[in-house]
Amino acid sequence: MVSDDLTGKIAVVTGGGRGFGKAFGHALAARGAQLVQLDLDEDAAKAAAAEIGHGAEAICLDVADEPEVERVMADIAARHGGIDILINNAGIHSAEANEFIGTLGTARTRRMFDVNIWGVIYCTLSARPFMAARAGASIVNISSMAAYGAQKAYGVSKLAVRGLTVSFANELAPDGIRVNAIAPGLIFTDTVRAELPQPVVDHVMAMQILQREGEERDIVEAMLWLVSTSASFITGETIRVSGGATLQI
């Protein structure tokens, strides 16, 4: 387990109200980071921050709203003196979004791309000036196993996140900011258990080399390593956490 002390670090987590975002917040705060949980669902963000404790803050934010993203990042930096860690976790990822673009429709596809792609761009560019030259500054994007062999709209959006990770790693390197991504496989969160049909679960499990259920802790540990000093020579990479399922693609 990564045990780097993050005391004094300012960590911003988008989509922080539930799921991975809330789990990331718990782990970062437990290591001493000052947490700011951002989520479109203000009640969820506040509930998550209260559960995390350690002085965690909650802010309502639509990551697809560029002016508001710029305002919020500037406000966080002004109050805390900067930003050290940004986790671009917010995304539209419901089972019904995993359709061909023609089936999903242009309006719903555009909204998903606005959040999953442009949200990463807006948050990264808005946080950049407040992360520049801060020791250990790190951005972690959340891609997906669906980005490998992507055919449907959701997978295409997460393929774009992989590309953005490489692009921003190059662009932000002169500022001393590392940029990496995690591509989770089938992780058995409450949402996944409720949404995914059993035949889909069986299909993905059959692709895995490791025959156990993926857990939130698997993704959390990958995130903690990427933001730690242990990964200080790692940038532009997407770490696949899929039990080996993506090796079949």
**Helices 119-131/153-172 angle, 10° precision:** 20
Please pick, among 20, 148, 154, 168, the residue that the annotation labels catalytic. Answer: 154
Q: Is 154 a catalytic residue?
A: yes
**Helices 153-172/106-113 angle, 10° precision:** 30
Q: Which residue has the tokens 């499990």?
A: 205
What are the structure tokens assigned to 190, written together?
Answer: 């409450």
Residue numbers annotated as active site: 154
